[in-house]
A and B are shown apart, each in its own frame.
Chain A
Amino acid sequence: MVNYIWVGMTIIGLIFAAVNGKMKEVNEAIFHSANEAVTLCIGLISILVFWLGIMKIAQDSGLLEKMSSFFRPLVQRLFPEVPPGHPAMGYILSNMIANMFGLGNAATPLGIKAMEQLKELNGGKPVASRSMITFLAINTSSLTLIPTTVIAIRMNYGSASPTEIVGPTLFATFISAIFAIFIDRYFYYRRSRKEVK
């Protein structure tokens, strides 16, 4: 999908440039923006190194694990099919915590592990179970505590207050997570009604 969008944008742009007689601008834009992209990534290094360093400390000291157990009772209610103490629950919780702290790279393997366990709980069928859909709904609504990369980019472009968006982001993400759970439940009850009929 992203392939089509990417090629589409470039080709449509080139056609518009030909029609509007803006080839000169487009030529400059290509080289200027490529250069800017690399500069931007270099600028991201500082905050990524700092934040992932801090998060690694939290992981090594067992703080992330501690937080998982704090959220356990709440999450247990969201996944009624997963027995308490089942490894799936541990992976789901650590994945959510890692996501909250913006550790995308650490979160992905944990998420895959959680999926494996959920598949086993579902008898190994190649069909998405209720818990899997709930897990994805929560995952894609992305509870974020610290949007590291966003802060870094704002810093890069000279924002007077790069972190001012932390509160609003937290607020928005919280609303969307709650709604994601409701949407998930709505579709679940719709499914189970159909199955009864």
Chain B
Amino acid sequence: MQWLSLLSLWMIPVLIAFILLYSIWKRVPSYESFVEGGKEGIKIAFSIIPYLVGMLVAITVFRASGAMDFFVNLTKPLLSAIGVPAEVVPLALIRPISGNAALGMMSDIISTHGADSYVGRLASVLQGSTDTTFYVLTVYFGAVGIKKMGDALKVGLLADLVGIAAAIIVVAWIF
């Protein structure tokens, strides 16, 4: 999978160079815009602290007590039969419900197993390639007062399922 790792390596630098050159061409005050956007980044980082503290504490209590092992062992035979590492199951389950909670689970997996482990990579791709269906649904439909969702939830959750499957297959294939 040489081309994919090459793409991973080159995409970000090329994109940055392109954006910067384009802004010079369009005579945008690049540095000022950068600072303006950067401030937003600080705000986001601070605003996710409570989410992460809440989730990480709950997960570590769940794990340190032996409860996680109990449930993981319960589902392990079934999941390993279809090639899913049991460690990512809690992440896959919470991903459609809360992005920040999933972020907590992902960092927990990475700190336990290592960022470059198979499970660590799978958790990374899983987090990046699926979205918080329930949140998006609630916010978007809630904001404009849609009461009958039709097939939206079914379609969204099925799409998530495909995303999870795609992440597992792609990671198994590439790494």
Shortest distance from the beta carbon of B138 to any chain A beta carbon, whole Å:
10
Chain A residue contacts of B79, Cβ below 8 A:
none
In the complex, whether A38 has a CB less than 8 A from a CB of chain B is yes
Q: Of the candidates A62, A150, A179, which one forms a contact with B128 in the assembled complex, judged by CB atoms under 8 Å apart?
A: A150
Proximity bits, A137-162, B CB within 8 Å = 1, else 0: 10111101111011001101111111
Let me know if A187 and B155 touch, CB within 8 A: yes
Known A16-B66, A141-B131: A133·B41 in contact at CB below 8 Å: no
Is residue B82 contacting chain A, with contact meaning CB distance below 8 A?
no
Bound form: Cα–Cα A180–B129 in Å: 12
Contact B41 A52 (CB under 8 A): yes
A-side contacts of B3, CB under 8 Å: 167
Q: Are B28 and A115 in contact (CB under 8 A)?
A: no
In the complex, the answer to whether B7 meets A9 with C-beta atoms within 8 Å is no
Contact flag A172-B62 (CB < 8 Å), given A57-B28, A150-B127:
no
Q: Contact between B41 and A53 (Cβ–Cβ < 8 Å)?
A: yes
| C-alpha spacing A173/B130, complex, angstroms | 7
Q: Residue A123 at the B interface, CB < 8 A? A: no
Contact flags (1/0) for A45-60 with B, using CB distance below 8 Å? 1001111111111111
B78 to chain A, nearest CB (A): 20
Name the distance in Å between B99's Cβ and chain A's nearest Cβ. 8
Residue numbers in A under 8 Å from B130 (CB-CB): 140-142, 176
Q: Which DSSP category, helix, strand, loop or mixed, fits chain B's interface?
A: helix
Contacts of B6 in A (CB 8 A): 167
B56 CB, min distance to chain A CBs, angstroms: 4
Instruction: Tell me the interface secondary structure of chain A in the complex.
Output: helix
Chain A, 105-151, CB within 8 A of any chain B CB: 105, 108, 111-112, 115-116, 119, 126-128, 132-133, 136-137, 139-142, 144-147, 149-150
B60 CB contacts on chain A under 8 angstroms? 29-30, 32-33
Interface centre among A59, A61, A169 (most CB of B within 10 A): A61
A51 CA to B36 CA, complexed, in Å: 12
Which residues of B (1-55) have their CB < 8 Å from a CB of A? 1, 3-9, 11-12, 15-16, 19-20, 22-23, 25-26, 28-30, 33-42, 44-46, 48-49, 52-55
A17–B64 CA distance with the chains assembled, in angstroms: 8
Q: Residue B174 at the A interface, CB < 8 A?
A: yes
Q: Is the CB of A157 within 8 A of B55?
A: no
A13 at the interface (CB under 8 A from B): yes
Of B106, B147, B149, which one neighbours A150 at CB under 8 angstroms? Answer: B106
Q: Which of A14, A111, A136, A149 contacts B61 (CB 8 A)?
A: A14
State how many angstroms separate the Cβ of B12 from the closest Cβ of chain A: 6
Please, which residues of chain B bring their CB within 8 A of the CB of A127?
Answer: 146-148, 150
Query: Which of A56, A133, A139, A146 has its CB near the most chain B CB atoms (within 10 A)?
Result: A56
- What are 10 pairs between A and B in contact, CB < 8 Å? A5-B101, A13-B61, A29-B60, A58-B23, A128-B146, A164-B8, A176-B129, A180-B158, A180-B159, A184-B159
Binding site for A on B (CB under 8 A): 1, 3-9, 11-12, 15-16, 19-20, 22-23, 25-26, 28-30, 33-42, 44-46, 48-49, 52-67, 70, 94, 96-99, 101, 103-104, 106-107, 110-111, 114-116, 120-121, 124-125, 127-134, 136-137, 139-141, 143-152, 154-156, 158-160, 162-163, 166-167, 169-171, 174-175
Given contacts A2-B101, A139-B131, list 5 more A-B pairs with CB under 8 A: A5-B94, A26-B65, A157-B111, A172-B169, A183-B158
